[in-house]
Amino acid sequence: MTTLDNATVTPVAIGRARGGPDVLTLRQDRWWVQPLVTVTVLTAFVVYSTWAVFVNKDYYVGIAMHRDLISPFYSPCIAGSCVPGSRGTDVVAYWWHITPALIVLGGPLGFRLTCYYYRRAYYRGFWQSPPNCAVADGHRRYTGETRFPLILQNVHRYFFFIALIFNVILTIDAVMAFRMPGAGGIGFSVGTLVLCVNAILLWLYSLSCHAARHLCGGGMRKFSTHPFRYRLWRLLTPLNGHHMQLAWASLVFVAFTDFYVRLVASGVITDPKLF
Ligand code: FES
Protein backbone atom coordinates (compact mmCIF):
# COMPACT_ATOMS: atom_id res chain seq x y z
CA MET A 1 0.00 0.00 0.00
CA THR A 2 1.32 3.46 -0.91
CA THR A 3 1.66 5.90 1.92
CA LEU A 4 2.71 9.51 1.97
CA ASP A 5 6.05 8.40 3.35
CA ASN A 6 7.09 6.26 0.39
CA ALA A 7 5.07 7.90 -2.42
CA THR A 8 6.93 9.72 -5.17
CA VAL A 9 6.23 13.41 -4.78
CA THR A 10 6.55 15.76 -7.74
CA PRO A 11 7.09 19.31 -6.52
CA VAL A 12 4.87 21.81 -8.31
CA ALA A 13 5.15 25.54 -7.82
CA ILE A 14 1.73 27.09 -7.62
CA GLY A 15 1.62 30.47 -9.18
CA ARG A 16 -0.21 31.06 -12.43
CA ALA A 17 -3.76 32.24 -12.89
CA ARG A 18 -6.34 30.04 -11.16
CA GLY A 19 -3.64 28.54 -8.96
CA GLY A 20 -2.22 26.36 -11.72
CA PRO A 21 1.33 25.02 -11.86
CA ASP A 22 4.10 27.48 -12.61
CA VAL A 23 5.32 25.19 -15.35
CA LEU A 24 3.38 25.00 -18.61
CA THR A 25 2.10 21.54 -17.84
CA LEU A 26 3.08 18.15 -16.45
CA ARG A 27 1.08 16.41 -19.13
CA GLN A 28 3.09 14.18 -21.44
CA ASP A 29 0.39 13.51 -24.03
CA ARG A 30 -0.28 15.62 -27.12
CA TRP A 31 -2.59 18.05 -25.30
CA TRP A 32 -1.94 20.73 -27.93
CA VAL A 33 -3.66 18.78 -30.72
CA GLN A 34 -7.17 19.69 -29.56
CA PRO A 35 -6.66 23.50 -29.45
CA LEU A 36 -4.70 23.34 -32.70
CA VAL A 37 -7.53 21.53 -34.49
CA THR A 38 -10.03 24.01 -33.03
CA VAL A 39 -8.06 27.01 -34.27
CA THR A 40 -7.52 25.46 -37.70
CA VAL A 41 -11.16 24.48 -38.32
CA LEU A 42 -12.68 27.66 -36.89
CA THR A 43 -10.25 29.87 -38.82
CA ALA A 44 -11.00 27.99 -42.04
CA PHE A 45 -14.74 28.36 -41.40
CA VAL A 46 -14.48 32.08 -40.66
CA VAL A 47 -12.37 32.72 -43.77
CA TYR A 48 -14.67 30.69 -46.04
CA SER A 49 -17.94 32.04 -44.62
CA THR A 50 -16.72 35.65 -44.76
CA TRP A 51 -15.87 35.20 -48.42
CA ALA A 52 -19.18 33.43 -49.11
CA VAL A 53 -21.18 36.17 -47.38
CA PHE A 54 -19.53 39.04 -49.23
CA VAL A 55 -19.17 37.48 -52.66
CA ASN A 56 -22.94 37.97 -53.09
CA LYS A 57 -23.49 35.66 -56.06
CA ASP A 58 -24.04 31.98 -56.90
CA TYR A 59 -26.11 31.33 -53.77
CA TYR A 60 -29.27 30.21 -55.53
CA VAL A 61 -30.04 27.53 -58.11
CA GLY A 62 -33.37 28.27 -59.73
CA ILE A 63 -35.75 27.38 -62.52
CA ALA A 64 -33.13 27.75 -65.26
CA MET A 65 -31.43 24.64 -63.86
CA HIS A 66 -34.71 22.94 -62.84
CA ARG A 67 -33.84 23.16 -59.18
CA ASP A 68 -34.78 25.17 -56.10
CA LEU A 69 -31.66 25.23 -53.95
CA ILE A 70 -30.57 28.11 -51.75
CA SER A 71 -27.44 28.47 -49.65
CA PRO A 72 -28.11 28.50 -45.88
CA PHE A 73 -25.93 31.61 -45.62
CA TYR A 74 -28.48 33.56 -47.69
CA SER A 75 -31.75 32.19 -46.36
CA PRO A 76 -34.23 33.73 -45.85
CA CYS A 77 -33.41 36.01 -48.75
CA ILE A 78 -35.49 39.06 -47.89
CA ALA A 79 -33.48 41.94 -49.34
CA GLY A 80 -34.03 43.97 -52.43
CA SER A 81 -30.69 42.70 -53.72
CA CYS A 82 -31.74 38.99 -53.74
CA VAL A 83 -31.43 37.26 -57.10
CA PRO A 84 -34.78 36.58 -58.80
CA GLY A 85 -36.52 33.48 -57.49
CA SER A 86 -34.59 33.16 -54.25
CA ARG A 87 -37.72 33.35 -52.06
CA GLY A 88 -38.00 37.00 -53.06
CA THR A 89 -41.79 37.05 -52.81
CA ASP A 90 -41.70 38.20 -49.18
CA VAL A 91 -39.01 40.80 -49.57
CA VAL A 92 -39.12 43.11 -46.58
CA ALA A 93 -35.89 45.05 -46.95
CA TYR A 94 -36.32 46.72 -50.33
CA TRP A 95 -33.80 49.33 -49.31
CA TRP A 96 -31.08 46.74 -48.72
CA HIS A 97 -28.77 46.61 -51.73
CA ILE A 98 -25.62 45.03 -50.38
CA THR A 99 -25.20 41.30 -49.79
CA PRO A 100 -28.46 39.85 -48.32
CA ALA A 101 -26.44 37.35 -46.28
CA LEU A 102 -25.58 40.14 -43.86
CA ILE A 103 -29.24 40.36 -42.80
CA VAL A 104 -29.41 36.73 -41.74
CA LEU A 105 -25.90 36.42 -40.34
CA GLY A 106 -26.59 37.75 -36.84
CA GLY A 107 -28.93 35.00 -35.62
CA PRO A 108 -26.90 31.87 -36.44
CA LEU A 109 -23.61 33.62 -35.69
CA GLY A 110 -24.80 34.83 -32.29
CA PHE A 111 -26.06 31.35 -31.45
CA ARG A 112 -22.73 29.73 -32.30
CA LEU A 113 -20.56 32.42 -30.74
CA THR A 114 -22.35 32.20 -27.40
CA CYS A 115 -22.69 28.39 -27.42
CA TYR A 116 -21.27 26.89 -24.23
CA TYR A 117 -19.24 24.35 -26.18
CA TYR A 118 -17.77 26.81 -28.68
CA ARG A 119 -16.91 29.16 -25.84
CA ARG A 120 -14.83 26.45 -24.28
CA ALA A 121 -13.29 25.62 -27.64
CA TYR A 122 -12.31 29.11 -28.68
CA TYR A 123 -11.26 30.23 -25.20
CA ARG A 124 -8.88 27.30 -25.25
CA GLY A 125 -7.81 27.53 -28.87
CA PHE A 126 -7.48 31.25 -29.45
CA TRP A 127 -7.22 32.76 -25.98
CA GLN A 128 -5.25 29.94 -24.36
CA SER A 129 -7.36 30.26 -21.25
CA PRO A 130 -6.36 27.56 -20.53
CA PRO A 131 -5.20 25.71 -23.69
CA ASN A 132 -6.31 22.38 -22.20
CA CYS A 133 -7.01 20.64 -18.90
CA ALA A 134 -4.07 20.81 -16.49
CA VAL A 135 -2.16 23.18 -18.76
CA ALA A 136 -1.17 26.60 -17.49
CA ASP A 137 -3.32 29.54 -18.43
CA GLY A 138 -1.90 31.75 -21.14
CA HIS A 139 -2.67 34.83 -19.05
CA ARG A 140 -1.71 36.02 -15.61
CA ARG A 141 -5.21 37.17 -14.74
CA TYR A 142 -8.51 35.40 -15.05
CA THR A 143 -11.81 37.25 -14.79
CA GLY A 144 -14.11 34.67 -16.30
CA GLU A 145 -17.31 35.91 -17.91
CA THR A 146 -18.26 38.29 -15.15
CA ARG A 147 -17.45 41.52 -16.97
CA PHE A 148 -18.19 43.25 -20.26
CA PRO A 149 -17.93 42.06 -22.99
CA LEU A 150 -17.95 38.38 -22.00
CA ILE A 151 -20.88 38.82 -19.67
CA LEU A 152 -22.94 39.18 -22.85
CA GLN A 153 -22.41 35.45 -23.41
CA ASN A 154 -25.38 35.01 -21.09
CA VAL A 155 -27.74 35.91 -23.93
CA HIS A 156 -27.19 32.45 -25.35
CA ARG A 157 -30.58 31.20 -24.08
CA TYR A 158 -32.31 33.88 -26.17
CA PHE A 159 -30.28 33.09 -29.27
CA PHE A 160 -31.59 29.55 -28.87
CA PHE A 161 -35.08 30.75 -29.82
CA ILE A 162 -33.72 32.75 -32.77
CA ALA A 163 -31.86 29.64 -33.94
CA LEU A 164 -35.12 27.69 -33.88
CA ILE A 165 -36.67 30.22 -36.29
CA PHE A 166 -33.75 29.73 -38.67
CA ASN A 167 -34.09 25.97 -38.36
CA VAL A 168 -37.72 26.19 -39.45
CA ILE A 169 -36.74 28.34 -42.44
CA LEU A 170 -33.92 26.00 -43.48
CA THR A 171 -36.26 23.03 -43.10
CA ILE A 172 -38.68 24.73 -45.48
CA ASP A 173 -35.72 25.25 -47.85
CA ALA A 174 -34.97 21.52 -47.62
CA VAL A 175 -38.59 20.68 -48.46
CA MET A 176 -38.54 23.17 -51.36
CA ALA A 177 -35.40 21.44 -52.64
CA PHE A 178 -37.65 18.55 -53.70
CA ARG A 179 -39.07 20.87 -56.35
CA MET A 180 -37.74 20.33 -59.87
CA PRO A 181 -39.43 23.13 -61.81
CA GLY A 182 -39.70 22.22 -65.50
CA ALA A 183 -38.29 18.71 -64.95
CA GLY A 184 -41.13 16.61 -63.63
CA GLY A 185 -42.23 18.82 -60.75
CA ILE A 186 -40.88 16.82 -57.84
CA GLY A 187 -37.72 14.76 -57.42
CA PHE A 188 -34.74 14.02 -55.25
CA SER A 189 -31.27 15.19 -56.19
CA VAL A 190 -27.91 15.34 -54.44
CA GLY A 191 -28.74 18.97 -53.70
CA THR A 192 -31.99 17.89 -52.01
CA LEU A 193 -30.03 15.42 -49.92
CA VAL A 194 -27.46 18.04 -48.95
CA LEU A 195 -30.10 20.56 -47.85
CA CYS A 196 -32.00 17.86 -45.90
CA VAL A 197 -28.89 16.66 -44.07
CA ASN A 198 -27.99 20.27 -43.30
CA ALA A 199 -31.43 20.94 -41.77
CA ILE A 200 -31.31 17.72 -39.73
CA LEU A 201 -27.85 18.50 -38.36
CA LEU A 202 -28.91 22.02 -37.42
CA TRP A 203 -31.94 20.67 -35.55
CA LEU A 204 -29.81 18.11 -33.74
CA TYR A 205 -27.25 20.75 -32.82
CA SER A 206 -29.93 23.14 -31.53
CA LEU A 207 -31.88 20.50 -29.61
CA SER A 208 -28.69 19.24 -27.98
CA CYS A 209 -28.05 22.77 -26.67
CA HIS A 210 -27.65 23.11 -22.90
CA ALA A 211 -30.27 25.86 -22.92
CA ALA A 212 -32.77 23.48 -24.54
CA ARG A 213 -32.11 20.85 -21.90
CA HIS A 214 -32.48 23.42 -19.16
CA LEU A 215 -35.71 24.64 -20.69
CA CYS A 216 -37.14 21.14 -20.34
CA GLY A 217 -35.64 20.04 -17.05
CA GLY A 218 -34.55 23.17 -15.24
CA GLY A 219 -36.31 25.30 -12.65
CA MET A 220 -38.49 22.58 -11.15
CA ARG A 221 -38.30 20.68 -7.90
CA LYS A 222 -39.93 17.41 -8.90
CA PHE A 223 -40.06 15.69 -12.26
CA SER A 224 -43.12 13.74 -11.10
CA THR A 225 -45.28 16.85 -11.31
CA HIS A 226 -44.09 17.68 -14.84
CA PRO A 227 -44.31 14.40 -16.77
CA PHE A 228 -44.24 16.03 -20.22
CA ARG A 229 -41.17 18.11 -19.45
CA TYR A 230 -39.57 15.05 -17.92
CA ARG A 231 -40.13 13.07 -21.14
CA LEU A 232 -38.61 15.89 -23.18
CA TRP A 233 -35.67 16.11 -20.79
CA ARG A 234 -35.10 12.35 -21.12
CA LEU A 235 -35.10 12.75 -24.91
CA LEU A 236 -32.72 15.70 -25.00
CA THR A 237 -30.25 14.53 -22.36
CA PRO A 238 -28.54 11.83 -24.48
CA LEU A 239 -28.48 14.26 -27.40
CA ASN A 240 -26.86 16.84 -25.14
CA GLY A 241 -24.08 14.34 -24.47
CA HIS A 242 -23.14 14.60 -28.15
CA HIS A 243 -23.31 18.38 -28.35
CA MET A 244 -19.63 18.79 -29.20
CA GLN A 245 -19.80 16.36 -32.12
CA LEU A 246 -23.03 17.92 -33.38
CA ALA A 247 -21.53 21.40 -33.09
CA TRP A 248 -18.64 20.45 -35.39
CA ALA A 249 -20.69 18.35 -37.78
CA SER A 250 -23.31 21.04 -38.29
CA LEU A 251 -20.67 23.77 -38.65
CA VAL A 252 -18.71 21.93 -41.31
CA PHE A 253 -21.84 20.79 -43.12
CA VAL A 254 -23.42 24.23 -43.29
CA ALA A 255 -20.28 25.44 -45.07
CA PHE A 256 -20.35 22.39 -47.32
CA THR A 257 -24.00 23.08 -48.18
CA ASP A 258 -23.13 26.61 -49.24
CA PHE A 259 -20.18 25.27 -51.22
CA TYR A 260 -22.32 22.66 -53.02
CA VAL A 261 -25.03 25.17 -53.95
CA ARG A 262 -22.32 27.54 -55.14
CA LEU A 263 -20.74 24.89 -57.38
CA VAL A 264 -24.11 24.11 -58.98
CA ALA A 265 -25.19 27.75 -59.28
CA SER A 266 -21.93 28.75 -60.95
CA GLY A 267 -22.15 25.86 -63.42
CA VAL A 268 -19.02 24.08 -62.21
CA ILE A 269 -21.06 20.90 -61.63
CA THR A 270 -24.61 19.81 -62.38
CA ASP A 271 -26.81 18.60 -59.56
CA PRO A 272 -27.45 14.89 -60.26
CA LYS A 273 -31.06 13.78 -59.93
CA LEU A 274 -31.24 10.57 -57.90
CA PHE A 275 -34.92 9.78 -58.52
S1 FES B 1 -24.78 25.20 -25.61
FE2 FES B 1 -24.11 24.99 -27.63
S3 FES B 1 -25.79 25.68 -28.76
FE4 FES B 1 -26.43 26.00 -26.72
Task: Report pLDDT digits (tens) over 109-119.
Answer: 999 999 999 99
Nearest one of 106, 48, 51, 101 to 76, comparing CA atoms: 101
pLDDT one-digit tens code per residue, 241-263: 999 999 999 999 999 999 999 99
Ligand 1 centre and the CA of 207: distance in Å?
9
Count of C-beta atoms within a 10 Å radius of residue 176: 16
DSSP element (H, E) containing 153: none
Instruction: State the closest ligand 1 atom to the C-alpha of 212, by its place in the atom list counted from 1.
Output: 4
Q: Half-sphere exposure of residue 216, counting CA atoms within 13 Å on the CB side?
A: 18
The yes-or-no verdict on residue 14 having pLDDT over 60 is no
pTM: 0.90
- How many Å lie between the centroid of ligand 1 and the Cα of residue 61? 31
**Does residue 77's CB lie within 6 angstroms of at least one atom of ligand 1?**
no
- Rounded to the nearest angstrom, the distance between the alpha carbon of 139 and the centre of ligand 1 is 26
Whether ligand 1 lies within 6 angstroms of the CB of 209 is answered as: yes
pLDDT at residue 263, as a whole number: 98
Task: List, for residues 51-106, the tens digit of each pLDDT value.
Answer: 999 999 999 999 999 999 999 999 999 988 899 888 655 667 778 889 999 999 99
Spatial contact of 194 and 178, defined as CB atoms under 8 Å apart = no
Question: How far away, in angstroms, is 16 Cα from ligand 1 center?
Answer: 30
Element (H, E) at 70: strand 69-70
